[in-house]
């Protein structure tokens, strides 16, 4: 059995920044309301001609550069997205072509904001069992395209971006455990209703709908449980966690988890203020920020967690 070690991280945010003050001109909201309820100050929005695979390629190349690997060294790509370029083929295949490689497996996973954790857990299983040696795991979203920009309940929350890691098989400790969950009974609490009907693509209104308070309460409960599950599985206490790298949906959800874990805010990576909620991209983007600014060091123990539509939720505990 091998460990999966993160050997490179990468992130990419589109150039255009949309601030809360810009939103004040679009819907009946205020910077003060958004900051108080969510902690978000600005988010990045993809240009009209920019696709999820564009963002993914930037993040992937940066992660490969840090790893000192070429796309030819890869033997698997797993990409998490809720906003694929096309219904098919998968965005992972489009990314593979852009990286100039082919032949090895590439596929998407869809677990909305938990997508990166699902992709990471899947990649880890391939590596542990000798099925792959170097895996590119990407979370990439153009979530702004699923947002009704006239609905103040949702449009203030989301942003676009991509994050990536390269995982390599190693004898040294890497990912220690992953924990995934879903409960489809909540599928109506957070959804975007595009669907294929009678052979025709019926986009519905295609926009994100959310019962905000229900999501909030479930997120704090489920994430606290999945974090406790990860600690217990590894017989660790919260004091042994160097960094919590949470899904960046809402500063109040992040603070709620940190409080339950009794983790001081200095050990929690927060990017939601300037990224907004980038869905599957949020955890790898936050990880990349804290690796590149030197906060996260080799040998640190990290706890990653996320929750999203489905509902889905999950965590990963790893030595960086």
Three-state SS at 13: coil
For position 308 contacting ligand ACO by CB under 6 A, the verdict is yes
- Active-site annotation holds for 113: yes
What burial class does residue 69 get, using C-beta atoms within 10 Å of its C-beta: 0-12 exposed, 13-18 middle, 19+ buried? middle
Per-residue interface string for the shown chain with ligand ACO, residues 271-300, x marking contact by CB under 6 A = ------x-----------------------
Residues numbered 109-138 forming contacts with ligand ACO, rule: CB under 6 A: 113
One of 38, 51, 142, 144 touching ligand ACO (CB under 6 A): 38
Considering the candidates 20, 93, 113, 155, report the single residue annotated as catalytic: 113
Measured torsion, CA atoms of residues 191, 221, 225, 189, in degrees rounded to the nearest 10: -10
Vertex 116: Cα angle to 111 and 118 (nearest 5):
60
* Burial per residue of 246-268, b for 16 or more beta-carbon CB atoms within 10 angstroms, e otherwise: bbbbbbebbbbbbebbebeeebb
One of 164, 269, 307, 317 touching ligand ACO (CB under 6 A): 307
DSSP state of 82: S
One of 17, 180, 210, 236 touching ligand ACO (CB under 6 A): 210
For position 190 contacting ligand ACO by CB under 6 A, the verdict is yes
Q: How many residues does the chain have?
A: 320
Distance CA 79, CA 55 (A): 12
Residue sitting closest to ligand ACO (CB)? 212
Of 169 and 272, which has the nearer Cβ to ligand ACO?
272
Task: For residue 232, count other CB atoms closer than 10 A to its CB.
Answer: 12
For position 221 contacting ligand ACO by CB under 6 A, the verdict is no
Select from 124, 153, 116 the least CA-distant residue to 313: 116
CB of 163 to ligand ACO, least distance (A): 15
Backbone angles phi, psi at 290, to 5 degrees: -75, -25
CB of 238 to ligand ACO, least distance (A): 21
Distance CA 78, CA 236 (A): 29
CB of 252 to ligand ACO, least distance (A): 6
CB of 263 to ligand ACO, least distance (A): 19
User: Which residues touch 312 (CB under 8 Å, ≥6 apart)?
Assistant: 111, 112, 113, 114, 118, 180, 181, 182
Considering the candidates 44, 58, 179, 247, report the single residue annotated as catalytic: 247
Which residues is 18 bridged to in the sheet? 43
One of 63, 157, 176, 318 touching ligand ACO (CB under 6 A): 157
CB of 278 to ligand ACO, least distance (A): 10
For position 310 contacting ligand ACO by CB under 6 A, the verdict is no
Q: Could you tell me how many residues of this chain bind ligand ACO (CB under 6 A)?
A: 23
- Active-site annotation holds for 277: yes
Residues near ligand ACO (CB under 6 A):
29, 33-34, 37-38, 113, 152-153, 156-157, 190, 210, 212-213, 215-216, 219, 247, 249-250, 277, 307-308
Residue numbers annotated as active site: 113, 247, 277
């Amino acid at each position: 059995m091998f460990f999966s070690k993160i050997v490179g991280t990468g992130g990419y945010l589109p150039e255009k920044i949309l601030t809360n003050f810009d939103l004040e001109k679009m819907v009946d909201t205020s910077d003060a309301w958004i900051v108080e309820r969510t902690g978000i100050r600005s988010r990045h929005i993809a240009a009209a001609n920019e696709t999820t695979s564009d963002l993914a390629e930037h993040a992937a190349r940066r992660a490969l550069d840090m790893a000192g690997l070429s796309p030819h060294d890869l033997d698997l790509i797993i990409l998490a997205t809720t906003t694929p370029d096309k219904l098919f083929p998968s965005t992972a295949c489009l990314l593979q072509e852009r990286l100039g490689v082919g032949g090895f497996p590439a596929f998407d996973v869809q677990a909305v904001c938990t997508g990166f954790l699902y992709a990471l857990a899947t990649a880890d299983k391939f590596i542990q069992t000798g099925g792959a040696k170097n895996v590119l795991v990407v979370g990439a979203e153009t979530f702004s395209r699923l947002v009704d920009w006239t609905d103040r309940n949702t449009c203030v929350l989301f942003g676009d971006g991509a994050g990536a890691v390269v995982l390599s098989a190693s004898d040294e400790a890497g990912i220690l455990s992953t924990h995934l969950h879903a409960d489809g009974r909540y599928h109506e609490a957070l959804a975007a209703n595009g669907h294929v009907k009678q052979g025709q693509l019926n986009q519905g209104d295609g926009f994100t709908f959310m019962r905000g308070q229900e999501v909030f309460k479930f997120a704090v409960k489920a994430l606290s449980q999945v974090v406790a599950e990860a600690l217990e599985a590894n017989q660790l206490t919260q004091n042994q966690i160097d960094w919590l790298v949470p899904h960046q949906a809402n500063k109040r959800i992040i603070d709620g988890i940190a409080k339950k874990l009794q983790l001081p805010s200095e050990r929690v990576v927060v990017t939601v203020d300037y990224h907004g909620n980038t869905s599957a991209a949020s955890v790898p983007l936050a990880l990349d920020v804290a690796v590149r600014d030197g906060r996260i060091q080799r040998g640190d123990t990290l706890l990653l967690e996320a929750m999203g539509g489905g509902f889905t939720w999950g965590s990963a505990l790893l030595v960086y």
